[in-house]
Chains A and B, each alone.
Chain A
Amino acid sequence: MSVRLLAAALALPFAVFAQEPIRVGAFLSVTGPAAFLGDPEQKTLELYVEKQNAAGGVLGRKLQLVAYDSAGDAEKARGYVKRLIEQDRVDVIIGGSTTGETMAAVPLAEGAGVPFISLAGAVVIIEPVKKWVFKTPHTDRMACEKIFVDMRARGATKAALISGAGGFDRSMRAECLKVAERHGVQIVADESYGAGDTDMTAQLTKIKNTPGVQAVLNCGFGQGPAIVTKNYRQLGIATPFYQSHGVASKQYVKLSGDAAEGVRLPAAALLVADTLPAEDAQKKVVVAYKHEFEKRFNQEVSTFGGHAYDGLMLFVEAVKRAGSTDKAKVRDALEQTRGYMGTAGVVNMSTQDHMGLDLTAFRMLEVRKGDWRLVD
């Protein structure tokens, strides 16, 4: 008799969760050339799905993460997204570490009517705005604008670009070329290097010998920018040097060593979480995420993981506001997100803006003695 009571009592919490779990689909570049994007993204999603479930789930239902590794390959990404939609029947898709993979998935999400929160950078993802597609990271265009504003503040009106061959590199370069004029900056040199190149002194020599260069911007991520940085110092170029948000990580600083001293780049407040002034509106969220992530995974927090956190939390908030996981209702709720504070900044979405960040979400950082320092 008492055994049966005990069994019934034990079964009760399970009965609550016996409802259908909320399926969160993800396709991330965990391996491959964009692994340092996908790896923290995957870890973040796993960690916070777990925490959310430990706190009782969402609407009384457990979250279930279905994640695939698309390895930076757009074709693979397409296949996995199809799988997520058709086979795994997910309620939302969070993913697409790179723009290429995201764009390959967009028509599928649009066609099937599944909310898709992208973790990639290019502005083309949300411009023109697509009904079912949202994104959490800052756009590469915003990064260019933040950098050009800072260049003008330092008195530079002529700049040189040096970019890698990858999707992120070329997309940001294209955006920078587009918005430079608007910010009063003229691009006087435009050099490129390939994936896996070991030495960029030739390109930098060309830039060094271009008359009138007052600032240099390197659009890239991975090991390329670190090599460019070292070559920059080796050649003794003293011109102000900017990197992109793609290398907003301690790994870049470590690899570049002393050469990174004085380099500026736009980044989310997450990187300087602990040194933010106490009144900073973002401080609470970023400090919490940073500590949770570093405690659990024993590795440096990364802004890319932060984008995944924002994506998941935006979805969770939207589901709570919509009161259901009905895809159309969740989509509407996502679009109505106002004043949500994420690791990237404050998010205010609208029918025309499916990203919701503004330029305040980017902080200008400078590398000083191997650590970040807020400039503005």
Chain B
Amino acid sequence: MCSFPTASSAAARPSASRRGLAALALVVALLPLALTNAYTYEIAILVGLNAITCVGLNILIGYAGQISLGHAGFFGLGAYGSAILAARYGVPPLLALAIASGAVGAAAWLIGRPILRLRGHYLAMGTLGMGVIVSVVLATEDRVTGGPDGMPVPPLSVFGYPLSGERTWYWIVAGALICAVALAQNLIESPRGRALRALHGSEIAAGAIGIDAARHKLGAFVLSAVFAAVAGALMAHYSGFITPGKASFLHSIELVTMVVFGGMASTFGAVAGAAVLTTLPQLLTALKEYEMVTLGAVMMLTMIVMPLGLVPTLEKRIAAARGKPV
């Protein structure tokens, strides 16, 4: 019934996760050598933004063991919040980003309390409904949001200097990603994180040793919402444009797929999942009308063959090859 996160070995040993962080920083620093033009930089930036969202979502799904089929709603709210504040109210973009993310966190706190009382598929429905409500409102209130065709967003600026261009943004997103991963790892290894993992194992047992399930679930929910909101706001300012499609059910599913594909309860799994599933559709365009069939088949096959996700399965194989118990 409950699938215990098996990547706990990596998370439990701080030195391993610090090595992982260093490795990530190295990859991020060296990647530009392989990026040839603005288009490839764009893909890398998208990977980074999805990775930030997924790292947050993974805390909720992988560690706290909850389901969210509406997380794109938070992404969209962060994006639109920052966009509207900056475009219609002249708020400096960095401040708009901060306010929007904070507001989304507050909203998540308010919604989270009643919603997290639901379990399993009921929680899935609850979060799904929330996501649908957000995307419908964003698409319908066209005077504020520009409607289904979206609205333009002013670029991020620091002390009046606009930050634009793929190369600049690559470093912004890379920095944000490293921070997000470091934050997530920090949380996982803290007593809070251990409480979360205990919750996932068995809510009742955790309660028996004094862990306040509701509070910890809510904390994970809010944190993952904030991660998504920040990523959304960054995407809005980077693209210069935002559409309600970013808050759609389809996008929520994409995010969950990235987390599960990469490996739940594995921060680096979330990053890996985001990387693979953001670049894959780009590669599949060559298949033209076979793209959908291939995508569906890939999703199904990888989940059937690697139900734990990419990174934990790899870790297992490597550990088995080395003869060590996982």
Contact = CB atoms under 8 A, between A and B. Distances in A.
Touch between A and B in complex, CB under 8 Å?
yes
B39 A74 contact: no
A192 B312 CA distance: 47
Nearest to A78: B239
B39 A83 contact: yes
A75 B243 contact: yes
A123 to B, nearest CB: 11
Interface string B265-281: 00000000000000001
Contacts of A68: 285
Contact of B147 (A69, A78, A85, A171): A171
B37 A87 contact: yes
A56 interface: no
A104 B245 contact: no
A219 to B, nearest CB: 12
Interface in A89-128: 98-100, 103-104, 107, 122, 124
A82 interface: yes
Given A31-B292, A174-B142, A104 B243 contact: yes
B150 interface: yes
A63 B245 CA distance: 34
Q: Size range of the interface on A?
A: 20 to 34
Given A86-B38, A103-B241, A170 B285 contact: no
Interface string B282-300: 1001001101100000000
A83 B43 CA distance: 10
Given A69-B285, A79-B282, A74 B42 contact: no
A107 B240 contact: yes
Q: Size range of the interface on B?
A: 20 to 34
A82 B38 contact: yes
Interface string B138-154: 01101000011110100
A85 B42 CA distance: 13
A76 B39 CA distance: 12
A79 B44 CA distance: 11
B239 A170 contact: no
B39 A82 contact: yes
Nearest to B142: A170
Counting chain A CB atoms within 10 Å of each CB, the highest count among B37, B149, B243, B245 belongs to B149
Given A75-B246, A86-B37, A100 B150 contact: yes
A129 to B, nearest CB: 16
Contacts of B292: 31
A74 B150 contact: yes
A107 B241 contact: yes
Counting chain A CB atoms within 10 Å of each CB, the highest count among B142, B148, B239, B243 belongs to B148
Contact of A100 (B136, B142, B148, B239): B148
A174 B147 contact: yes
Contacts of A332: none
A370 interface: no
A323 interface: no
A82 B243 contact: no
B243 A170 contact: no
Interface string A59-84: 00000000011000111101110110
20 contacts: A30-B289, A31-B292, A69-B291, A74-B150, A74-B241, A75-B239, A75-B246, A76-B281, A79-B42, A79-B43, A79-B282, A80-B285, A82-B39, A85-B38, A85-B39, A100-B243, A103-B149, A166-B148, A170-B147, A192-B140
Shortest Cβ-Cβ A-B pairs, 3 listed: A167-B148, A86-B37, A167-B149
Given A74-B150, A165-B140, A170-B142, 12 more contacts: A69-B288, A75-B239, A78-B239, A78-B241, A79-B42, A85-B39, A86-B38, A103-B150, A103-B152, A124-B149, A169-B148, A171-B149
